[in-house]
Structure 1
Amino acid sequence: MLRDMNMNALRHFEAVARRGRVSKAAEELRVTTSAVSQQIRLLEQQFGVLLFRRENRRLIPTEEGERLYIATSQAFRMVAEVHSAIVRQRQMRQFIMRVSPSFGVRWLGPRVKSFLDQNPDWSVRVDATPEFTDFETEIVDLDLRYGSDPRSGMHEVCVMQDFILPMCSPAYLETLRAFSDDPMEQLCHAQLIDSVKTFYRWDVWLNQRGGATVPSVYALRFDRSSMAIQLAADGAGVTLESAVLAWRELATGALVPLSDRLDVIEFSGYHVVCPPRHTNRRIVRLFTEWMLEEGGRHEAEVRTYLTDRGCPIVLEGGPAQDWGGGEGPARPMPHDAQ
């Protein structure tokens, strides 16, 4: 039955029922009045009923015509909405990136609206995963990675430095000061929260400083920086973590540096990474420029916070580690595996 329906006649019928006059429908459809009248007659013949009655020089739908008008107007409106959605989707350009989860949630998420506001014609998809992109087999524009791997053959741009330091809640710091004023001695009595997927873990950091005895087993171990930061803010211990990721807690006072006598490690933290051929993509350039601006602003904020508190900042390139774990090119560790 549907395949026998005269869709052109239905379109003319709907316009007449909505406008009330053949002449107005003809003007809207850009056809002659006789063409509209002919289509209405064909439709009435197909249905076998009158669809309009004339009243004060207007065409008023009959009971059958009213039922048909309700159905056709709803159908045409739905088709128009779907058409608009399809056109918008076709016109909207898609940008796909991959980020480490804690960075995506804690840093990128609260700021990404400004990028969207500056680039309203782009749809954005963010995959928060620790897995690095295989650009030869996956459709991704860029990775936002933690750490650098100059041997990978990828185009890399450092968009923000990171700052690593021991931190804890103010209340927990007071309990440690009851043992000693020496921060390294305090760590001997502290519950150390271990972020197992970070560049700088407690064993590396402590060994480099020749201080407290390194525990062989940590009671609190997490593969998510966000979890380690939250636990420290809750007063469970001391975490060795990123000031970039913990900025909200540091800014509000939920976390504080353990001591202004301990070095803060600064190194090249966050990088936009993609194959060299992707640098020709406009969205890659736009996002990199935005990250440099936003990252630079936040980096300055963190640096000022640490400097105002007298924390010495030491520039390092990151620990020398065999990230590859076997044959083939080495790859940087993700900041976390969330």
Structure 2
Amino acid sequence: MYMTRRPLPPLRSLQAFEAAARHLSFAKAAKELNVTPGAISHQIKTLEDWLGAPLFHRLTRALRLTEAGEASAQTLTEGFDLLSKAALQMKPRWDDDLLTVSVSPGFGSLWLVPRLDRFRQQYPDIEIRIDGTDRLIDVASGDADVAIRYGPGGYSDVHIDRLFAMRATPVCSPETRDRGSGLKSPQDLASHTLLHVDWKETEGSWRTWLLAAGVHDVDPFMGPRFTKEEMAVRAALDGEGVALIGDRMAANHLASGRLVRPFNKDLSTPLVFAYFFLAPKDRLDQPKINAFRTWVLGEASLEL
């Protein structure tokens, strides 16, 4: 029996959209795919024409996904993850120095990737592959060599190291802090846009932070909402408002000065969950896994 061929748009246009949706930047997508920003724009226009719907709101200094783009981006990323995994399974298992690390896209882009060069300098013989996904994976069965996950802990049948917990802290661009009469106290947030991360509303919401800061005249629900932490960080970098972010996730931008804490460092609230390193118990002494575990525990122990 013959299968009906699946209707698909050009693979290159899907790949261009997936990269641009992750980065919210044509330029960064072009760099990742080793093409020009114009080529990315052309491929996405081809995809939008094929679909008959726009995928991005093209703003003056930023990109925002449309409802159609938002609905499909995560599924498409997971699809490319599966294609990549299938391709790796087709290759001979000769490369014992390839280490696959599964992390959420937010943790990968905001915390892990900015530090990877230090790992490569210490362990130049270990090739690292970052599998950026939020889906459940089983390191014990070989879905990845190791994983880093955010949660309450209590993972079973794997080795666990607690990396760090975080504190929710407001961050913004220096321009936002200095705009108008300035952002000097939490009460001043009444005249600024609050940027929200949907999935953190249960433990790191603006409502919780404002109550802890003793502020009652600022609407804790106003402002745009983002399904991904890295999107809220991007909006803060672009001067679109003040984001409430886990301090560790903002550390790289704070150190560079691209983001600032507008208020005293003490005005932060602890988050309930933590990040954990997961590895197979029976492969913990494998050189590449042991090397990465030693390195990531050392990075996690550094002071903010």
Structure 2 counterpart of 1:249:
253
Structure 2 distance, partners of 1:240, 1:233, is 13
Structure 1 distance, partners of 2:218, 2:157, is 37
Structure 1 counterpart of 2:264:
260
Return the letter of the residue paired with 1:143: A
Aligned length: 211
**Structure 2 segments unaligned to the other structure (5+ residues):** 1-90
Q: Does 1:172 align with 2:176?
A: yes
Indicate conservation of the 8 Å contact 2:163/2:276, yes or no. Answer: yes
Structure 2 counterpart of 1:195:
197
Structure 2 counterpart of 1:185:
187
Structure 2 distance, partners of 1:142, 1:110, is 19
Structure 2 distance, partners of 1:94, 1:151, is 25
Compared CA separation, residues 159 and 213, structure 1 to 2 (3 A) = same
Secondary structure, aligned partner of 1:291: helix
Q: CA deviation at 1:141?
A: 1.8
From 262, 270, 292, the equivalent of 1:287 is 292
Structure 2 distance, partners of 1:133, 1:214, is 40
Structure 2 distance, partners of 1:119, 1:144, is 19
Structure 1 counterpart of 2:56:
none
Which runs of structure 2 are paired with 1:199-238 in the superposition (5 Å)? 199-213=203-217, 215=219, 217-238=221-242
How high is the sequence identity, in percent, across the aligned residues?
27
Structure 1 distance, partners of 2:144, 2:168, is 30
Deviations 1:240-272 (A, max 9, x none): 113322233322323221211752345674321
Say which is worse superposed, 94-103 or 130-139, in terms of deviation. 130-139
From 105, 110, 117, the equivalent of 1:101 is 105
Q: CA deviation at 1:191?
A: 1.0
Secondary structure, aligned partner of 2:101: strand
Structure 1 counterpart of 2:277:
272
Structure 2 distance, partners of 1:215, 1:146, is 28
Give me the CA root mean square deviation. 3.1
- TM-score, structure 2 as length reference: 0.58
Structure 2 counterpart of 1:46:
none
**Structure 1 segments unaligned to the other structure (5+ residues):** 1-85, 303-338
Compared CA separation, residues 91 and 131, structure 1 to 2 (3 A) = closer
Indicate conservation of the 8 Å contact 1:195/1:221, yes or no. Answer: yes
Return the letter of the residue paired with 1:270: Y
Compared CA separation, residues 213 and 151, structure 1 to 2 (3 A) = farther
Return the letter of the residue paired with 2:129: R
Deviations 1:82-128 (A, max 9, x none): xxxx99x7254332220111221233223223323433443322101
Structure 1 distance, partners of 2:140, 2:134, is 18
Secondary structure, aligned partner of 2:102: strand
Structure 1 distance, partners of 2:158, 2:214, is 36
Secondary structure, aligned partner of 2:199: coil
- TM-score, structure 1 as length reference: 0.53
Secondary structure, aligned partner of 2:134: coil
Compared CA separation, residues 119 and 175, structure 1 to 2 (3 A) = closer
Q: CA deviation at 1:167?
A: 1.6
Deviations 1:114-148 (A, max 9, x none): 32343344332210112231346552122112343
Secondary structure, aligned partner of 1:95: strand
Structure 2 counterpart of 1:296:
301
Structure 2 distance, partners of 1:192, 1:171, is 15
Structure 1 distance, partners of 2:220, 2:167, is 25
Indicate conservation of the 8 Å contact 1:184/1:212, yes or no. Answer: no
Return the letter of the residue paired with 2:189: L
Which runs of structure 2 are paired with 1:74-93 in the superposition (5 Å)? 90=94, 92-93=96-97
Q: CA deviation at 1:189?
A: 2.7
Deviations 1:280-310 (A, max 9, x none): 434322211101222223xx2x2xxxxxxxx
Indicate conservation of the 8 Å contact 2:101/2:129, yes or no. Answer: yes
Indicate conservation of the 8 Å contact 1:163/1:243, yes or no. Answer: yes
Indicate conservation of the 8 Å contact 2:207/2:221, yes or no. Answer: no
Which runs of structure 2 are paired with 1:12-161 in the superposition (5 Å)? 90=94, 92-135=96-139, 138-150=142-154, 152=156, 154-161=158-165
Return the letter of the residue paired with 2:286: R
